Amino acid sequence: MHISQITLRDWKAYTTANFDFPAPASGKNIILIGAPNGYGKTSLFEAIVLGMFGRDGLPLIARSPFSGADKERLATSYKNFLEKALHRGATAAGRTSCSVKLIFTDENDEPLEIQRIWHFSDSGVYRAQDEEIHIYEGTTRKAVGPGALQGNDRADWFREYIAENLLPFTLAHFFMFDGEQVSVLAERSMSDQVRHGIEGMLGMPVLKRLAKDLRAYAEVRRKDSPNVSDKTIEKIELERHQLNFENDKKTDRLAEIEPYRATLKEEQEHLIRELASFGSGSQALLQEQFEQIKNHERAIEGGNAQLEELLMKDLALALSGLGLRKSIKDRLLSEGVRERWESGKNQGDSNLERFLASVDTGMQEINPSLSDGQREGVLDSARGAWEKLWYPPPDNCADEYLHPYLNELERSKVIDRLDELDELGAPAIVELLSTIAANEDSLKRLQDEVTRTEAVAPHVDKKRERLTQVNGEIQQYDQEIGALKREMASLETQINQKNTELTKLSGQLDQAAPSARRAARANKVALMVDEIVAKAVPSQIDAIAAAMTKAHRAMAHKKDLVERIAIDENCDVQLLNTDDMDLRGYDLSAGEKQIFTQALISAVSSVSGRGFPMVVDTPLGRLDIEHRKGVLNHLVQREHQVILLSTNTEVVGEYLREIEPHVQKKYLVHFERVGDIGQSTVRPGYFEETGGQA
């Protein structure tokens, strides 16, 4: 599958524009489209994304690839974006629509055409209800569509068709992305990147939205059949709402501060390089001290996080004492004995009357016949003997239930958990506290040494002060990010507990009313979706790790440094060298972090099995020089089409010569002003070899 044609009409600075691309051939898969900044390169990228996905594609061009968006906010942003996308001269000329047409051609030369048309009022206000999408199959341009469906149902039909025949929008950011955004994404934790990558590949965002919608539906249905028990459910739902609200706030805060931290990290690396250039001696020592300070700060933060996790989960129960835990276990065991005894007795009692009736029938056949008094005496004796089978109760049988809310399986789980806590002893806590204290002492000593270190060159003091300030700000952001992630993990655990409670309570009310039954089923399905999401990610980890290792080794400049990328079931990442040492213990450069993210993008697109083209805006982004050729050489090795939208400072000169044999076609975007309106046009060709100018 490749893009064979793109046609734009009244899209941003393009009045009309047409691009024709050949099918990829052996060793030739690159399409180059050049444009200096501001000429319309990114506008073309936006047209491809929104032409395919409409509103669903907006997060790919308006924010970080892995971020989510509220539906109402997304609709507002989409409207604002489109009203700026309509060519400025269109309405003056009486044209009130703009459009994008994309033609894809498969291996059998069968075309698939998607055309999306956006309509506006005479004053340029976007009319959402009039947005059109048309799809045509084959050389006869057979129209396909949802028939009489309207509104959201119609949009859902087209979304599913495009997902099945081309690409789901949850996977789009691994095939269509901005190289500039990769540098921001690279500053996120590797674990988060991998988890979000696999979830996107498997379409998990859609399932998560389904679970959320099902639970919202259950709340509405529950209100249709109010009763006393509903108050409990409403209380839990309100608590879950509050937990979700808190979690959303922390998620928004995390998305807000991560770009600032990335900018500070770039400045930090720049300052360190500048200070290193002043020479050895005191300045070299100063740089080494800063590196040691960062290592100790990370160790302290990690130790505090580990201690906080123990305080939140296991430590409190462990400190309750062996005697109390043993008493609880003994009590639960005795209640288990009572439950089994009662179950046997109740089962026996249910058959007693039938047994006595059978005995009475047998006595009627005795000759000579027994008197009524004799028969009653025999029956009373049989009844008394039956009762003695169950009394006294067995040894270790509880007199009553103190924990009636637990069934036999749940009691067993509680006992197993209490047994595990017996293994958590004071030495482990003391060792952790000692490690934190030792790192704090070393940190204070190093900070005192840094204070005494004197500058050895002009301007060093000023740069050193700024570096100290930057280090402090980064440390504050790191601490806040760490705290946010821990709090979000705790909130997610609580939300899952509320979901489980709601499912259990809804099940108890399943027979109460039709609305209650529907709510119970919706909650049950939502919980099943949660379980699917939890199990789906680990199933793809080995394949992603292998593909990432291959891509990373192809792109990284120091190919002998990272031998293997290992990922565990929790998506925690290790960058292992030949000695199986995790290189994350050392500070990776911005370029090395970007190579990791590029490797993840490559791995997900590969493991997904989709033969979809890759479209990259600003492909070399903020990559350092030593990694640029590695990324380009990796892209030319792909079997499928790769469209690179480059500025005149990227794929030019030696970088262009590096991939020239693999280039199929080149286009160059030109730009001129007609009055106060910009006009972009496209022609075959590319930047001049000298200097990369248009």
Query: Which candidate, 237, 209, 208, places its Cα nearest to that of 221?
Result: 237
Average pLDDT over residues 108-113: 94
User: Which pLDDT score, from 0 to 100, does residue 317 have?
Assistant: 66
Is pTM beyond 0.85 here? no
638: Cβ–Cβ under 8 A, 6 or more apart, which residues? 29, 614
Please report, rounded to a whole number, the percentage of residues in the chain having pLDDT higher than 70: 82
Residue 420: DSSP 8-state = H
Q: Which of 163-177, 527-541, 598-612 has the highest mean pLDDT?
A: 163-177
pLDDT exceeds 80 at position 12: yes
Of 303 and 117, the structure prediction assigns the larger pLDDT to 117
User: Across the chain, what does the average pLDDT equal?
Assistant: 81
User: Which pLDDT score, from 0 to 100, does residue 693 have?
Assistant: 47
Q: Which of 124-128, 312-316, 383-387, 543-547 has the highest mean pLDDT?
A: 124-128
| pLDDT tier for residue 110 given thresholds of 50, 70 and 90 | very high
pLDDT exceeds 70 at position 427: no
pLDDT exceeds 50 at position 608: yes
Average pLDDT over residues 554-566: 73
Residue 57: DSSP 8-state = G
**What angle (nearest 5°) sits at the alpha carbon of residue 248, between those of residues 246 and 252?**
120
How far are the Cα atoms of 97, 100, 115, 275 from residue 9, in angstroms, in the given order? Answer: 9, 7, 11, 52
Average pLDDT over residues 233-256: 87
**Does residue 303 contact residue 435 with C-beta atoms inside 8 Å?**
yes
User: Which pLDDT score, from 0 to 100, does residue 691 have?
Assistant: 43
Q: How many helices (H) and strands (E) are present in the chain, helices listed first?
A: 20, 14
For residue 30, report the phi and psi dihedrals to the nearest 5 degrees: -100, 130
Query: For residue 137, what is the enclosing H or E element?
Result: strand 132-137
**What angle (nearest 5°) sits at the alpha carbon of residue 68, between those of residues 192 and 548?**
35
Tens of pLDDT, residue by residue over 677-694, are: 889 999 999 987 434 444
Residue 28: DSSP 8-state = B
- Omega prior to 392 cis, within 30 of 0: yes
205: Cβ–Cβ under 8 A, 6 or more apart, which residues? 68, 170, 199
Tens of pLDDT, residue by residue over 390-425, are: 778 888 898 888 888 888 888 888 888 777 776 665
Alpha helices (runs of H) in 364-459, residue ranges in sequence order:
372-388, 408-421, 426-452
Residue 453: DSSP 8-state = P
User: Which pLDDT score, from 0 to 100, does residue 515 have?
Assistant: 67
Q: Which two tokens stand for residue 633?
A: 């050489």
Average pLDDT over residues 516-542: 75
Of 116 and 582, the structure prediction assigns the larger pLDDT to 116
User: Which pLDDT score, from 0 to 100, does residue 498 have?
Assistant: 86
Tens of pLDDT, residue by residue over 168-195, are: 888 888 888 887 766 656 556 667 767 7
Q: Which residue, chain included where needed, has tokens 């000329």?
A: 93
Q: Which two tokens stand for residue 127?
A: 């009319």
- Omega prior to 24 cis, within 30 of 0: no
Q: Which two tokens stand for residue 360?
A: 């009475």
User: Which pLDDT score, from 0 to 100, does residue 44 have?
Assistant: 95
pLDDT exceeds 90 at position 276: no
CA 331 – CA 444 distance, rounded (Å): 51
User: Which pLDDT score, from 0 to 100, does residue 67 have?
Assistant: 41
- Which of 103-112, 367-376, 496-505, 582-591 is predicted least confidently? 582-591
User: Which pLDDT score, from 0 to 100, does residue 529 have?
Assistant: 75
Helix, strand and coil content of the chain, in percent to the nearest 5, comes to: 60, 15, 25
**Does residue 638 contact residue 611 with C-beta atoms inside 8 Å?**
no
Buried b (16+ CB within 10 A) or exposed e, 328-338: bbeebebbbeb
For residue 4, report the phi and psi dihedrals to the nearest 5 degrees: -100, -20
Written as one string, the DSSP assignment of 58-124 is HHHHHS-TT----HHHHHHHHHHHHHHHB-TTTGGGT--EEEEEEEEE-TTS-EEEEEEEEEB-TT-
